[in-house]
């Protein structure tokens, strides 16, 4: 899958998350719980399809996010510097290898972003479920 296709897929998943959250706000507790169950099953299916990548992304949680950002900025600066030198050197093979490396880095970052969207989707649905449950308990107590 190309980087452009990965970005498109991630964008579509974020749009699905928004739509799912909007719908869940108008559903009963049972419907939200069913949605959570389905979301967990969908995530498990996606993760089993890319278990190794998801496991690697999970291992690089929040504590590595800042490191990833700094590393990406350094790599981008290095890439820009190397591209400048490459243009002077006309080294096509080297430029191709570095482009492939940059694409691999981008693909890794998109895999991580996909994992984060999975976690955000569950967190949003759990929050909606908790709010719905709290509202139901408050309504029951008021009677």
What is the domain partition of the chain in residue ranges? 3-142
pLDDT at position 124: 86
Above pLDDT 90, what percent of the chain? 12
Count of Cβ atoms closer than 10 Å to residue 8 Cβ: 12
- Rounded Cα distance, 102 and 10, in Å: 19
The residue ranking higher by pLDDT, 75 or 135, is 135
- The H or E element that residue 57 is part of is helix 51-59
Predicted confidence (pLDDT) at residue 137 exceeds the cutoff of 90: yes
Above pLDDT 70, what percent of the chain? 78
In terms of average pLDDT, the best of 53-57, 65-69, 84-88, 97-101 is 97-101
pLDDT at position 63: 55
- Rounded Cα distance, 10 and 48, in Å: 18
Cβ atoms 102, 79 nearer than 8 A: yes
pLDDT at position 73: 73
pLDDT at position 74: 79
- Rounded Cα distance, 107 and 29, in Å: 37
Predicted confidence (pLDDT) at residue 99 exceeds the cutoff of 80: yes
Span 16-75, pLDDT tens digits = 888 988 998 898 888 988 988 898 888 888 777 766 665 555 565 545 566 766 776 777
pLDDT at position 35: 84
Number of H helices, E strands in the chain: 5, 0
Q: How far is CA 108 from the centre of its chain?
A: 11
């Amino acid at each position: 899958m190309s980087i452009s296709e990965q970005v498109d897929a991630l964008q579509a998943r974020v749009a699905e998350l928004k739509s799912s959250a909007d719908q869940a706000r108008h559903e009963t507790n049972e419907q939200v719980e069913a949605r959570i169950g389905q979301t967990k099953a969908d995530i498990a299916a996606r993760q089993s399809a890319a278990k190794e990548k998801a496991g690697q992304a999970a291992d690089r949680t929040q504590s590595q996010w800042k490191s990833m950002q700094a590393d990406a900025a350094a790599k981008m600066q290095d890439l820009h510097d190397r591209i400048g030198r490459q243009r002077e050197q006309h080294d096509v093979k080297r430029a191709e290898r570095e482009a492939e490396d940059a694409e691999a880095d981008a693909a890794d970052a998109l895999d991580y972003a996909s994992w984060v969207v999975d976690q955000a989707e569950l967190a949003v649905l759990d929050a909606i479920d908790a709010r719905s449950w709290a509202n139901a308990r408050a309504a029951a107590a008021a009677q």
